[in-house]
Amino acid sequence: MQTLEVISVNLWQTLISLLNLVVLFLIVKHFLYKPVKKVLAKRQAELEEHYTTAEKAEADARADRLAWEERLSGANAEADAILQNATELAHSRSDAIVSEAREKADGIVRVAQNEAELERRRATESVKREIVEVSGAIAEKMLEREVNVEDHRKLIDSFIENIGESDE
């Protein structure tokens, strides 16, 4: 009967093996499974935190980029406005300088015309005086007589009037 004992199932040995398996499972669960599960949960939380931080940084970068582009377009518009104002100011200053130069030139021309007119009048008066003197001398010699002052003045005045009319 020895063959039966080898094949037979010993209930106590099976129970002890099962109990041994349960104790071993509890020990492995307590010392290995729970710490590994905690480490995995911690790593999962860190990964989620990293993803959240990265998404937040990406959103901040987009917002900063949009703000920068907006500021850049505002700066471009401001630069264009400043350039346009400077151009308008330069044109107005240019126009003012040109008009001032024209006014000065017109003033110089007027002064020159006035001086020319004054010189012409002086020359005319000088010529008239010389004519009066010469005509007086000629008249005196031609008449060789004594002309009274009143007749002399009338003669000179009529001569001057005739000369002034023929000049003009």
110-149 residue pLDDT tens: 999 999 999 988 888 888 888 777 777 666 666 655 567 7
Mean pLDDT for the chain overall: 85
Judge whether 4 lies within some domain: no
Judge whether 70 lies within some domain: yes
Residues in the chain predicted with pLDDT less than 70, given as ranges, are 1-7, 137-147, 164-168
Q: Are 160 and 134 in contact (CB under 8 A)?
A: no
Question: Which letter, b or e, does each residue of 48-75 get, where b requires 16 or more Cβ atoms within 10 Å of its Cβ?
Answer: eeeeeeeeeeeeeeeeeeeeeeeeeeee
Judge whether 125 lies within some domain: yes
Our count of domains for the chain comes to 1
The torsion defined by the Cα of 36, 40, 45 and 50, in degrees rounded to 10, comes to 130
Judge whether 131 lies within some domain: yes
Judge whether 54 lies within some domain: yes
Cβ-Cβ contacts under 8 Å for 32 (sequence gap 6 or more): none
Q: Which domain holds residue 67?
A: 9-167
